[in-house]
Amino acid sequence: KMEVLILFSILLNSINGSPVEDTKATPVPVVLWHGMGDSAAGMTGIESILKENIEGVYVHRIMIGGNIVIDTESGFFRDTNRQISEVCEMMANDPELQDGYNAIGFSQGGQFLRAVAQRCPNPPMKNLVTFGAQHQGVFGFPNCPGEMVFFCDIVRDLLNYGAYVEFVQDILVQAQYWHDPLHFDTYVEKSKFIAEINNEKTEKNASYAINLAKLENFVLVKHSEDSMVEPRESEHFEFYVPGQADVILPLRESPIYVEDRIGLKALDEAGKLHFMEVEGDHLQFSRQWLIDNIIEVFFKN
């Protein structure tokens, strides 16, 4: 009997592979999308931190266009909806991502990756983390990243000319998430990206709430002293009460949540919606903060 048992256990092991192999699951890949004024090249530091802390992880740094120059320019001048479609195609065509992936979006890359989750559920996004994202758009353009003053001057000129003028909406990324609470009806009617992805149009897209609610976790990181995002509450999906630009409407009282237009309420009730705040200005956080609060908690499968 003992010999039979030993033989049986040897057979089982040969079928299953050794127990050591069983426990070594392939880590969930991570997709990164940079912010305004940055490029895929600027994501190498984050990629290194991920690879140092998650053994064998595959990282896909999103690059729009064929090179870093086009990628950087696309953060200012390109149709956002087209960029989302291009990224959906990239995700679908990357063989490493087919079983699902985690995603981190920085600044405007945050709301862009959320749009990917809402519009393109395959391959599935598992955990989405956004740093300083303008989920409710912006009403103000107070500061400019680093060396991008020339670009930012053009952005301001176009926004002053008219954020909702059709040709500006077509080409200017920042106009596509410009949210004017003083002209709320115009915003809802003319905004080609942020009003649409937040399901504020008269005709709602029911798939948005279904798809976003499939996330395992949605983590919204807000920067306590953010001087670039106005209002900074947009990073936690909050915005001005329509008709003025002073009082902020709490998320859980706003129509996007109450009517569950995009799945936030479903995520919240399931304990999958996480609001975090980190000390500092726009996109400022320490390496250790990222490791302790994001990688260890949400990315170690």
Catalytic residues: 107, 226, 282
The dihedral over CA atoms of 85, 89, 92, 97, expressed in degrees to the nearest 10, equals -90
Reduced to 3 states (helix: H, G, I; strand: E, B; else coil), residue 294 is helix
Residue 174 · residue 76 · CB < 8 Å: yes
Reduced to 3 states (helix: H, G, I; strand: E, B; else coil), residue 93 is helix
- State the alpha helices, DSSP H only, in 62-124: 68-74, 80-93, 108-119
Let me know if 90 is exposed, middle or buried by CB neighbors in 10 A (0-12, 13-18, 19+): middle
Let me know if 173 is exposed, middle or buried by CB neighbors in 10 A (0-12, 13-18, 19+): buried
Reduced to 3 states (helix: H, G, I; strand: E, B; else coil), residue 240 is strand
Distance CA 93, CA 106 (A): 23
Distance CA 33, CA 23 (A): 31
Reduced to 3 states (helix: H, G, I; strand: E, B; else coil), residue 47 is helix
CB burial of 256-293 (b: ≥16 within 10 Å; e: otherwise) equals bbeebbbbbbbbbeeebbbebebeeebbebeeeebbeb
Distance CA 70, CA 63 (A): 9
Residue 275 · residue 218 · CB < 8 Å: no
Distance CA 149, CA 6 (A): 73
